[in-house]
Amino acid sequence: MMIGTVRRGLAVTAWALVGLVFGVGCSRDARLSGQKIRKATVKTVTHYGITLDEKASPEQVAYVMLRAIRDDVSAGDRQQRDAALDKQFDLCAANAIEERNTTSTSRDEYIHGVVYHWAPTLSHYVADFENDWEKAKPRLVRRDPKAGSPSAGGLPETEVLMEVGDPTGDPNARAVVIIWLVKDSGYWRVTHPGFDHEHRSIPTGIVSE
């Protein structure tokens, strides 16, 4: 199906861009100088009143991730931004991301480079990200891969989609945000965000569980 082919191609493209950020053979990215390099782990965390344990849904993880990105972009100082970034690192599929590191960059630096670019990727639309789970829930739509589709390193995977409006109000600038997630160590966690470049609204026939 064309949609499935396109969305999987976009995921590959996003990961290819991550590789370009670091470059094969670069043992230390000079742009990381002075930045806080976190040691990301997959574990139970509670943010914005939602506990993200092994029972948490992909939609809950996506909501917390989008809210943390909104806080990141709107942060008034370094302390607030670091707090928002800490949440994003808590939500990353650290082990799955590490598996995709084909550079000589260390684990922590590679994961840092992936997660650090989440907010810039979605920053244009953060004004339309919800600050309340009950309001966000009906807007978040889960899209599971078709049976037989290749998975990320054999891990269960899914996508969460949300329609977002452009801050200018231009209907032609609406977009569909996609959050790619995998089941990492028993937890739904995010590998990366992006956009459905084929649609300005969520395609019909997708049912969120």
Q: Hey, where are the domains in the chain?
A: 39-195
Q: Which residue has the tokens 């396109």?
A: 6
- For residue 144, the model assigns a pLDDT of 87
Q: What is the dihedral of CA 29, 97, 52, 82, to 10 degrees?
A: 10
> How far is the C-alpha of 153 from the C-alpha of 149, rounded, in Å?
12
- Residue 130: other Cβ atoms inside 10 A: 17
Give residue 27's pLDDT band: very low, low, confident or very high (50, 70, 90). very low
> How far is the C-alpha of 142 from the C-alpha of 118, rounded, in Å?
19
DSSP, res 125: G
pTM of the model: 0.81
Q: Which residue has the tokens 């690192």?
A: 89
C-beta separation of 22 from 113 below 8 A: yes
Strand partners of residue 193: 179
Element (H, E) at 187: strand 187-195
Q: What is the pLDDT of residues 50-65, one digit of tens each?
A: 999 999 999 999 999 9
Q: What is the pLDDT of residues 145-201, one digit of tens each?
A: 866 555 556 789 999 999 999 999 999 999 999 999 999 999 999 999 999 999 999
